[in-house]
Amino acid sequence: MTPMTPADIARIDREHIWHPYSSMTAPLPSYQITHAEGVHLQLADGRTLIDGMSSWWSVLHGYNHPTLNQAVRDQLDRFAHVMFGGLTHEPAARLVQTLVDITPEPLKKVFLSDSGSVSVEVAMKMAVQYWQAKQKPAKHRFLSLRNGYHGDTFGAMSVCDPVTGMHHLFNQVLMQQLFAEAPTCRFDEPCRPEHIADFRKLIENHAGELAAVILEPIVQGTGGMRFYSPQYLRQVRALCDQHDVLLIADEIATAFGRTGKLFACEWAGIAPDILCLGKTLTGGYLTLAATLCTEDVSDTICRGEAGVFMHGPTFMANPLACTVANTSIELLISNDWQSQIGRIEAGLRAGLAPARGKPYVADVRVLGAIGVVELNAPVDMATITPAFVAAGIWVRPFGKLVYIMPPYIISDAELATLCSAMLGVLDQCIGGG
């Protein structure tokens, strides 16, 4: 196969490739990657960027990791894929056992799928089938939080914030769900009665029609990068129990150490009835997701009318993906991830501190390996992205949020460079520096 020139790639990209959340009539530039190593992205023009995004929060161990590479090669020599209907294999069995072992009790059953959005769809279908099996079909709606984001498929879109969740164009065709006010108690603050009053009112008034509450524990990601109090989450769990409503925890962005706990639910000491995982599951190598549930959920569904759970992805439990997921989790556990996250958190606090008090900055917040600079106004992507690239970093803001979630292997020096360059670009592009 004849290699393409950078000009060929640019032409095809410009004329035919539709990137996520992008316009085909007024496209933003796309930067060609020719190689990636550690925390660095190599551009076709020879420049090297420090990746502050972990490829949308998924590349925990950095790029081109020799151990993960070898795991994929070894599995590829055995078999790349096999249907999961009526067949099984060691990579899936090993991964499922590991997930059961490391997730909060009493999650015991695991359904593997393709992506984070699909894992949310699976969770929602589980909740609906659960109540149908209990002869309570009226319990079919969901209560979510404003500023929440759960994915881009139709079920997932319906539980995203109808304004900030990026899907308001579809509101007329989506299932109509309920939305409580976003938590206003910050991570290090107590949750007072007024903070959860709206949620309490909604669950009390609608318990008879609610299948489940779905939320992102502790960190609301794409809907605002907001960090809220663990006490709020504990009270949500108690209210779900009190009113006989299932709790779905969407840990697609927060799982595997990103917040400073292996799973963000651990900050509150609670376990959901259903847990969604994705993104980091394979260390950013292949698409894979998992939806875990309790035995009560699985057994109830299987005693219902269908007798089975009604979902079956073609590439469910892909052996390559399961193999690299196993290896990624082993690397994480063996690499003293708590120290890695603690070191990154300290570096982010120090590196982003100079942004506090600047007239164009509304807030600076850090939790674990997540650093956020919230601005007073949305950024101009056409201006700021080339400026970040010129500064030698890859940062992808959205709206008023300029944030970084680097790979866990980033060095102190690389992290300091990333933070300094990011703030320099903000001063240049927004502060008039």
> Which ranges in 1-57 belong to alpha helices (H)?
6-16, 54-57
Helix orientation angle between 197-206 and 230-242, rounded to the nearest 10 degrees: 20
Q: What is the DSSP string of 163-200?
A: TTTS-GGGTTTS---EEEPPP-SBTTS---GGGSHHHH
**Is 63 labeled as catalytic in the residue annotation?**
no
Q: How would you classify residue 432: left for phi > 0, otherwise alpha for psi between -120 and 50, otherwise beta?
A: left
How confident is the model at residue 326, as a pLDDT? Answer: 98
The contacts found for 326-329 with CB under 8 angstroms, 24 or more apart, are 326/71, 326/91, 326/94, 326/95, 326/98, 327/67, 327/68, 327/71, 327/283, 328/60, 328/61, 328/68, 328/280, 328/281, 328/282, 328/283, 328/285, 329/95, 329/98, 329/102, 329/256
How confident is the model at residue 397, as a pLDDT? Answer: 96
Residue 167 has pLDDT above 80, yes or no: no
Taking only the tens place, the pLDDT of each residue in 320-333 is: 999 999 999 999 99
How confident is the model at residue 233, as a pLDDT? Answer: 98
Q: CA 251: distance to chain centroid?
A: 6
**Residue 181 token pair:** 């006010």
**Is 130 labeled as catalytic in the residue annotation?**
no
> What top-level class would CATH report for the domain 6-61+336-429?
alpha beta
**Residue 154 token pair:** 């139709």
- Percentage of residues in the chain with pLDDT exceeding 90? 95
Round to whole Å and give the CA distance between 398 and 388: 14
Residue 169 has pLDDT above 90, yes or no: no
Taking only the tens place, the pLDDT of each residue in 357-415 is: 999 999 999 999 999 999 999 999 999 999 999 999 999 999 999 999 999 999 999 99
Q: Please give the CATH number for the structural domain made up of 69-334.
A: 3.40.640.10
**Is 134 labeled as catalytic in the residue annotation?**
no
Look at the chain and count its residues.
433
Task: Number of helices (H) and strands (E) in the chain: give both, helices first.
Answer: 13, 16
What's the whole-number average pLDDT of the chain? 96
* Catalytic residue chosen out of the listed positions 109, 139, 261, 279: 279
How confident is the model at residue 423, as a pLDDT? Answer: 98
Q: Which residue did the predictor score with more confidence, 47 or 172?
A: 47
Taking a C-beta distance cutoff of 8 angstroms, is the pair 227, 218 a contact? Answer: yes
> Please, is 386 exposed, middle or buried when counting C-beta atoms within 10 Å of its C-beta (0-12, 13-18, 19+)?
middle
**Is 360 labeled as catalytic in the residue annotation?**
no
3-state secondary structure of 42: strand
Rounded-to-5 percentages of helix, strand, coil across the chain: 40, 20, 40
Mean pLDDT score, 113-140: 98
CB atoms within 10 A of CB 303: 10
Round to whole Å and give the CA distance between 274 and 215: 11
Question: How many Cα neighbours within 13 Å face the side chain of 175?
Answer: 19
Adjacent-strand bridge partners of 79:
none
How confident is the model at residue 166, as a pLDDT? Answer: 67
Residue 284 has pLDDT above 70, yes or no: yes
How confident is the model at residue 422, as a pLDDT? Answer: 98
Round to whole Å and give the CA distance between 289 and 325: 10
Mean pLDDT score, 84-103: 98
- Percentage of residues in the chain with pLDDT exceeding 70? 99
Residue 109 has pLDDT above 80, yes or no: yes
Residue 32 has pLDDT above 70, yes or no: yes
Q: Among 213, 216, 215, which residue's Cα sits nearest to residue 57?
A: 216
Q: How would you classify residue 270: left for phi > 0, otherwise alpha for psi between -120 and 50, otherwise beta?
A: beta
Domain ranges (residues) in the chain = 6-61+336-429, 69-334
Q: Among 250, 410, 263, which residue's Cα sits nearest to residue 329?
A: 263
Residue 164 has pLDDT above 80, yes or no: no
Which range, of 173-177, 236-240, 366-370, averages the lowest pLDDT?
173-177
HEC assignment per residue over 380-424: CHHHHHHHHHHCCEECCCECCEEEECCCCCCCHHHHHHHHHHHHH
How confident is the model at residue 254, as a pLDDT? Answer: 98
Taking a C-beta distance cutoff of 8 angstroms, is the pair 179, 212 a contact? Answer: no
How confident is the model at residue 17, as a pLDDT? Answer: 96
Residues 6+ apart with CB under 8 A from 245: 139, 143, 203, 207, 210, 211, 212, 213, 239
Residue 261 has pLDDT above 80, yes or no: yes
pLDDT band at 165 (very low <50, low <70, confident <90, very high): low
Backbone angles phi, psi at 405, to 5 degrees: -140, 75
Report which secondary-structure segment, H or E, holds 238.
Answer: helix 230-242
Q: With the C-alpha atoms ordered 141, 214, 299, 113, is the resulting torsion angle positive or negative?
A: positive
Backbone angles phi, psi at 326, to 5 degrees: -55, -45
Helix orientation angle between 116-133 and 295-302, rounded to the nearest 10 degrees: 60
Q: What is the DSSP string of 318-379?
A: -HHHHHHHHHHHHHHHHTTHHHHHHHHHHHHHHHHGGGTT-TTEEEEEEETTEEEEEESS--
* Catalytic residue chosen out of the listed positions 8, 21, 45, 201: 21
Round to whole Å and give the CA distance between 86 and 320: 18
